[in-house]
Structure 1
Amino acid sequence: MELSIGEMLLVAVAIVVLFGPDKLPQIARDLGQGVRKMRGAMEDVKTEILKETDNPVSEIKKEIERVKKAAQDYDPMASLNKEALAEREIPKVDLAADDTHEGPVSR
């Protein structure tokens, strides 16, 4: 909204006529305080909105990090390797060298 110089002069003259030159400084002071309060209120609302919108995002980011860490810690080959090692640890008996082994029975 742009005001030309003529429009601003018309508003100034209307204010002086309506309120008088004695109250003009008080009106300007009150107007300035009102503008400051409005800016402060707008800043508070903006901060609150950013805080509320940032909260779910940060929770989602934390959950993503937790899943990434769990995925890095999970090693499917570890359980397979343990099973393979357990199978290797079973002692292999050489049946040809073992005299106690009777072997298959033949008829």
Structure 2
Amino acid sequence: MELSIGEMLLVAVAIVVLFGPDKLPQIARDMGQGIRKMRGAMEDVKTEIMKETDNPLSEIKKEIEKVKQSAMDFQAEDAARKNTTSEPASPKISLAENDDHEGPVTR
């Protein structure tokens, strides 16, 4: 919203007529303080929004890195375990083919 010079002069004359020339400096000071407070409040809100939007992303990235590190540690342990054991791996038994297995549900 732009004001032309004529519009600004009209507003200034209206303020001087309504409030008088002796109260003009006080009104200007009060308006300046109000504008500063509004700007400060807007900066605070902007900072909080940026913190809230940035925070979940950084937490997710940290969790992904933890999972990647755990997977790499597990792979390293698994490889070390395979190298140290010379026993052949026992064959996997399919429980679907074996009727002797009793799981948590009884038949």
TM-score scaled to structure 1, two decimals?
0.71
Residue ranges of structure 2 left out of the alignment (5+ in a row): 89-107
What residue in structure 1 maps to residue 70 of structure 2?
A: 70
- The reply to whether residue 49 of structure 1 matches residue 85 of structure 2 is no
How many residues are aligned here? 86
* Larger-Rg structure: 1
TM-score, normalised to structure 2, is 0.71
* Stretches of structure 1 lacking an aligned partner (at least 5 in a row): 88-107
Instruction: Quote the sequence identity (%).
Output: 78
Distance 1:30 1:79 in 2: 75
Show the counterpart of 1:81.
Answer: 83
How far did residue 81 of structure 1 move?
Answer: 3.2
The Cα shift of 1:79 comes to 4.1
Cα deviation per residue 1:60-96 (whole Å; 9 max; x = unaligned)?
A: 011011011012212254444344x235xxxxxxxxx
What code does the residue aligned with 1:39 have? Answer: R
Which residue in 1 is equivalent to 2:14? 14
* Letter of the 2:13 counterpart: V
What are the residue-to-residue correspondences of 1:90-101 with 2, within 5 Å? Answer: none
How large is the RMSD of aligned CA atoms in angstroms?
1.6
Compute the displacement of 1:58 (Å): 1.9
In the alignment, the residues of structure 1 paired with residue 30 and residue 62 of structure 2 have an alpha-carbon distance, to the nearest angstrom, of 47
SS at match of 1:9: helix
> Could you tell me which residue of structure 2 aligns to residue 105 of structure 1?
none
- In structure 2, the partner of 1:100 is none
After superposing on structure 2, the runs of 4+ consecutive aligned residues of structure 1 that deviate more than 4 Å are none
CA distance in 2: counterparts of 1:45 and 1:2, whole angstroms:
26
Structure 2 distance, partners of 1:70, 1:35, is 52
Q: Distance in 2 between matches of 1:33 and 1:13?
A: 22
Alignment-derived partner of residue 94 in structure 1: none
